[in-house]
Every structure is written in structure tokens, then in C-alpha cells.
Amino acid sequence: MDTQITLKNNSRMKGILLVVSASMLWGVSGPVAQYLFQKKDISPEWLVDIRLLLSGSLLLIFLYLKNGKKIFNIWKSKYGRRNIIFFSIIGLIGVQYGYFASIKYGNAATATILQYLSPVIIVCYVSFKSKELPTLRETLSILLALLGTFLLITRGNIHSLAISNLALFWGVLSAFAAAFYVVQPVYIIKRWGCDIVIGWGMLLGGIFFSFVHPFWRIQGEYSTDSILAITFVVVFGTLVSFYWYLDSTRYIKASETSLLSCLEPMSATTVSILWLHTPFGIFDIIGSILILSTVLILSYNKKS
């Protein structure tokens, strides 16, 4: 019995370490991208394209070595083909480009926190679709998210915005895309697996986005620092973090992974302040806490 308890505790700790590490890598990749956009003049369009192409290709190669030709099964289904294309264009490209564009026109901390409006957007969508009013808990989350966003983008001054219109637009757009990213592929993930869907989604997204900004059309200042930063965003901020986050769900509850993923905006904010000297005042802090608290409220389960 003691051995079983020890193994269970070890597995739980492994799951926590995996999701914490993944969230922190995601968070740090935001300021690294901000460094590339604002210090090295690299375009978010190019970084989105190369990130999706490389990440998708490497993930699919890994899955092919692991599962063989099974990774192509999704293309044998008309429903699978249609939905993976929608997921890729609207979900993945929307999330990736919206997030990076918000960073370019604003900063990584604000862009990351704005993306965490997606759970509240999902609540509103589900309520609208089911034609049912949100519960008291969901209504509280919506109000907190609205108040938090107001404080974050105005810093308490109702007469002006503390961030640019473009940073706000792309940040909110990335939150809507993130909500679509969660809701739309539920069926194909259940049938073919999250890793397969993400792998093909990334590769397709990179191919589609090449028509917007071809990856071979390189801009900006390329140096050792730039190459290291790009490598971090692609490998650690995408592939490694995704795999660790996905693997963590084998050891801990989905609600726990959602809560622990809040370390992403915290790490993004900390690195932005310490490394890039991003200004972050009391209203930014309060607004961020209010938005992130919605994740805690919506993840809470009385039965757990």
C-alpha cells in the first residue's frame, strides 16, 4: 500500500513539474519574441511561418517514427480533412499571429494576459449555443474579465488607452482564436489524438501562411543572438512545451493543468519586466490578477 501511494505521489509530482515547465517555457517565449520584433526588427509574419513549419514538421516526423503510417489516417476522412483545415487556418494561425502581432505592437506581458480571456469567451459561446444564461460562477468570471481588461488597457484612466489600438485588437483576436482552438477540434482530437491534430495543424498553418509571408523572405538583423532566440521559440517555446504539457495530462487532472498553466503569463510578465524593462504598474497587476482569477473560478470543481 505504501509503495502504491509513493508511486502515485511521484506520478503526480511528475505531472506538476511537466505542466509548470511547459507553462514557463511558453511564457518566456513571449518576451523572446518581443526581443526579436523590437530589437532585431524580425517580422511576426516570418516568425509565425517558420515556427509553424518547423514545429509541425518535427512533430510529425517524431510521430511517424513512433506510430508509422497511422498519422495519415486523418486524411482518409472527409470530416477529418475539413476540420483539420479549419483548425489550422482559424485556430492555429489566428492564435499564433494574433499573439505575436499583439507583442509587436505592445508587449509580451499584456499580449499573454489578453489571450487568457479565451475561457470567458468559451463560456459566452456555450451559453449562447445552449440558449441558457451563464451560472453565477460564470457570470462572476465574465465581470472579472471585463474589469481586468479595462484596468489593463487603460491603467485606470478612462480617457486614454495604455496600449496601442493594434496591440489591443490583435490581443483580443488571439483570445477569440484560442477559444476556437479549444472548442472546434474536440471530435477530431478524440478520434485521432491531440498530437496528430496539432502536428498536421502546425504544418498546414505554416504552408498556408507562406502565401502571406514566405519563410524564405528573411527580414531584420540576423546574428547569433537572433538565431538562438528563434531556436528557443521554435524548439522550447513550441515543441518541448507542447509535448510536456500534453504528457502532464497523464498524471494530473485537466483542471489542475489549467490552473498551473497560469504560470505562463506570470513568467512572461516577470521576464518582460526584468529583461526588456517593460513598464508594469499597479493597475496592470490588478487587471492581470482579475483576468487570471477567471481561470481559477472556471476550473474549480466541487466534486474534486
The tens digit of pLDDT for each residue in 188-200 reads 888 998 889 989 9
CB-based contact 272:108 (threshold 8 Å): yes
Contacts of 141 (CB under 8 A, 6+ apart): 119, 120, 123, 294, 297, 298
Identify the DSSP state of 42.
-
Q: What is the pLDDT of residue 255?
A: 62
CB-based contact 63:197 (threshold 8 Å): no
Identify the segments of the chain with pLDDT beneath 70. Answer: 1-9, 254-256, 258, 300-304
Q: Is the sign of the CA dihedral 140, 169, 25, 248 positive or negative?
A: positive
Contacts of 187 (CB under 8 A, 6+ apart): 79, 83
DSSP character string of 236-283: IIIIIHHHHHHHHTTTS-HHHHHHHTTHHHHHHHHHHHHHS-----HH
Q: What is the pLDDT of residue 263?
A: 83
Identify the DSSP state of 40.
S
Q: What is the pLDDT of residue 51?
A: 92
CA nearest neighbour of 300 among 254, 262, 267: 254
- CA dist list (Å): 78 to 69, 128, 188: 18, 28, 11
Q: What is the pLDDT of residue 103?
A: 95
Integer Cα distance of 266 and 286 in angstroms: 13
Q: What is the pLDDT of residue 304?
A: 45
